[in-house]
């Protein structure tokens, strides 16, 4: 099965990147903690790069560019026609990005205020807010770097070289880990500044890696004079709606962060950030990789008129997404706090911080299946050239998120868990978004659940619940090891995760979600490929 083989390649590299990201965040928790400096970096300076990476490298640009590139490459001109289109897109994109970067740096003060709600509840001094603005200015060039990298990565994805693009984020994490480990400062403010500098350095490394990979693949990009021809206009028309459609969860998180800075006390943004990073681990491993592969695969099938094959591929995509996502959801609901303790509770990050972060992680996890399914369902629209429908649903999702934040934060604040409001609102709004995407695809005749998917879904859910119950009952066995030395923590976390995987695998077989014959057939297919 090419889908599983491709996801294995992309997923393995994405997993490596996400594991490095956890190491990075563990170091940041140790040296920066949960206070104004961490809120300034996580809530604003690093939020912008993360959002643009999700929108462009993992969302909008790929969603708009890849189908058009494949269409050109599948035509009479072949791959040279596709490369010519990419060069014309680059000629327009480059000056726009340069101008955009200059404007953002100049407007860093109001941008910082808007993204943080002015840190109103934290009542920062003028020097503290100026520090937050400086961090933003340091990281803003990353936006241009990752956007250029996304164009090159889109070409490589269209050539089925998925692993090259999937490996690029590893360089960002390596740069940030090196900065934290070797150059952390005497206090949290100096270390946060090092974090910001390493973000832009990591972006430059990512772009250089993809330039090198394109040359190795025989892709040579030449700079041309910018010209808004019909093809480039079509690309630009699709990018903006795709950005809102593919990035609804990022936009929701951005709004949640701003409202948290406005309404919640110091440290709340950091709790939400670390909880989101853990929630992003299965999303990055499953949803982003699977969505990238499905977009390229389905658009290529549709360009050849293979409608039935495209629908079957999307069925298997949903099945695979939920098979891998449901156990993560249940685990984050049942053992969120032990996971957070093992990863982050040392140095400047206290036991109280770990408890607060665990609550936020549980709230986020409610929407984890929908976060992944959005990535799996939107290629069904983008591959058919429809970027408008997802954006309409994304806008409604964003509105629901804003209302949810404004209702849940003051409702939960008297209980001491006001910071749980933003993750919970984000999860609920994402669930509404995926429901609308699914029902519209079905109504248009572009998707129908096949018998295999209908049979397996309830069984997968039952297997995940069995696993969650066992983890909840046995979590006390791991507690003494989760606050010890780093090696002890990682061994305990590995055992906890390993136990969950084994339990889920056994439960999947017992419930009939997967039969032994299915696994044997899958192994035969993998060995044949």
- In this structure, which long-range contacts are made by residues 381-384, counting pairs with CB atoms below 8 Å and at least 24 apart in sequence? 381/245, 381/437, 381/441, 382/63, 382/64, 382/67, 382/242, 382/295, 382/299, 383/67, 383/295, 383/298, 383/299, 383/302, 383/310, 384/302, 384/446
List, for residues 271-301, the tens digit of each pLDDT value: 988 898 888 777 766 655 565 566 667 777 7
Q: Which band of pLDDT confidence, cut at 50, 70 and 90, is reported for residue 355?
A: very high
Q: Residue 516 pLDDT more than 70? A: no
Tokens of 423: 């993750």
Name the residue with higher pLDDT: 430 or 258.
430
Please name which of 1, 7, 5 lies closest in space to residue 289, comparing C-alpha atoms.
Answer: 7
Nearest-angstrom CA–CA distance, 334 and 353: 18
221 token code pair: 């990009």
State yes or no: pLDDT of 133 exceeds 90: yes
Dist. CA 401–CA 253, nearest whole Å: 9
* Average of per-residue pLDDT across 64-87: 80
Mean pLDDT of 176-196: 92
% of the chain at pLDDT higher than 70? 87
Site of tokens 């009542």: 123
Place of tokens 């430059």: 204
What is the per-residue pLDDT for 115?
A: 83
Q: What is the pLDDT of residues 215-230, one digit of tens each?
A: 888 887 788 888 888 8
Average pLDDT over residues 248-260: 73
Mean pLDDT of the chain: 83
Q: Give dist(CA 499, CA 491) in Å, integer.
A: 12
Q: Residue 520 pLDDT > 60, yes or no? A: no
Cβ proximity of 313 and 298 under 8 Å: yes
Better pLDDT: 102 or 66: 102
pLDDT over 60 (residue 185): yes
Among 27-36, 77-86, 332-341, 350-359, which stretch is predicted with the lowest mean pLDDT? 77-86
Q: Which pLDDT belongs to residue 258?
A: 79
- Ranked by mean pLDDT, the top range of 150-159, 166-175, 316-325, 479-488 is 166-175
Between 241 and 177, the higher pLDDT residue = 177
Q: Is 207 in contact with 149 (CB distance < 8 Å)?
A: yes
- What pTM did the predictor assign? 0.74
Enumerate the H helices of 117-247 as residue ranges.
126-139, 141-158, 162-183, 188-216, 230-246
CB 437 within 8 A of CB 377: yes
Query: What pLDDT score does 175 carry?
Result: 96
- Band of the pLDDT at 486, cuts 50, 70, 90? confident
Q: How confident is the model at residue 151 (pLDDT cuts 50, 70, 90)?
A: confident
pLDDT at 527: 42
Instruction: Give the whole-angstrom CA distance, residue 314 versus residue 298.
Output: 8
Q: What is the pLDDT of residues 458-480, one digit of tens each?
A: 999 999 999 999 999 988 888 88
Q: Are 134 and 193 in contact (CB under 8 A)?
A: yes
Q: State pLDDT tens for residues 426-441.
A: 899 999 999 999 999 8
Which of the four pLDDT bands, split at 50, 70 and 90, describes residue 357?
Answer: very high
């Amino acid at each position: 099965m090419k889908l599983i083989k491709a996801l294995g390649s992309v997923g393995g590299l994405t997993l490596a990147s996400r594991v490095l990201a956890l190491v990075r965040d563990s170091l940041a928790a140790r040296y920066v903690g949960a206070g104004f400096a961490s809120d300034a970096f996580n809530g604003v300076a690093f939020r912008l790069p993360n959002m643009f990476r999700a929108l462009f490298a993992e969302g909008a640009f790929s969603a708009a560019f890849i189908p058009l590139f494949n269409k050109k490459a599948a035509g009479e001109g072949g791959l040279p026609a596709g490369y010519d289109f990419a060069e014309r897109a680059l000629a327009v994109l480059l000056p726009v990005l340069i101008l955009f970067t200059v404007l953002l740096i100049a407007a860093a003060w109001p941008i910082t205020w808007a993204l943080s709600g002015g840190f109103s509840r934290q009542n920062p001094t003028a020097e503290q807010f100026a520090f937050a603005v400086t961090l933003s200015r340091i990281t803003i060039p990353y936006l241009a770097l990752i956007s250029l990298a996304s164009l090159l990565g889109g070409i490589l994805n269209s050539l089925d070289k998925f692993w090259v693009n999937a490996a690029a984020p590893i360089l960002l994490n390596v740069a940030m880990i090196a900065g934290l480990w070797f150059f952390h400062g005497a206090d949290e403010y100096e270390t946060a500044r090092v974090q910001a500098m390493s973000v832009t350095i990591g972006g430059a490394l990512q772009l250089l890696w993809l330039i090198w990979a394109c040359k190795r693949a025989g892709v040579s990009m030449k700079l041309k004079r910018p010209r808004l021809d019909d093809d480039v206009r079509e690309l630009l028309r699709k990018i903006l709606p795709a950005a809102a459609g593919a990035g609804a969860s990022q936009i929701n998180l951005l709004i949640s962060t701003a409202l948290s800075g406005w309404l919640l006390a110091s440290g709340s943004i950091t709790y939400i950030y670390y909880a989101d990073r853990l929630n992003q681990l299965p999303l990055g491993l499953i949803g982003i990789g699977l969505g990238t592969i499905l977009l390229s695969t389905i658009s290529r099938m549709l360009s050849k008129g293979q409608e039935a094959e495209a629908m079957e591929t999307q069925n298997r995509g949903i099945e695979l997404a939920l098979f891998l996502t449901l156990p993560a959801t249940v685990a984050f609901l049942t053992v969120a706090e032990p996971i957070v303790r093992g990863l982050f509770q040392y140095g400047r990050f206290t036991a109280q911080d770990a408890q607060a972060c665990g609550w936020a992680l549980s709230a986020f996890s409610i929407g984890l299946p929908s976060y992944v399914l959005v990535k799996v369902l939107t290629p069904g629209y983008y591959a058919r050239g429809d970027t408008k429908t997802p954006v309409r649903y994304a806008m409604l999702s964003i509105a629901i998120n804003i209302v949810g934040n404004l209702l849940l934060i003051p409702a939960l604040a008297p209980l001491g868990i006001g910071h749980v409001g933003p993750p919970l609102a984000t999860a609920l709004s994402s669930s509404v978004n995926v429901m609308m995407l699914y029902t519209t695809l079905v109504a248009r005749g572009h998707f129908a659940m096949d018998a295999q998917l209908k049979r397996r879904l309830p069984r997968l859910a039952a297997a995940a619940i069995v696993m969650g119950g066992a983890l909840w009952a046995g979590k006390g066995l791991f507690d003494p090891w989760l606050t010890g030395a780093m090696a002890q923590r990682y061994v305990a976390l590995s055992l906890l995760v390993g136990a969950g995987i084994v339990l889920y695998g056994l439960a999947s077989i017992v419930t009939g979600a997967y039969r032994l014959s299915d696994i044997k057939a899958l192994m035969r297919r993998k060995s044949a490929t």
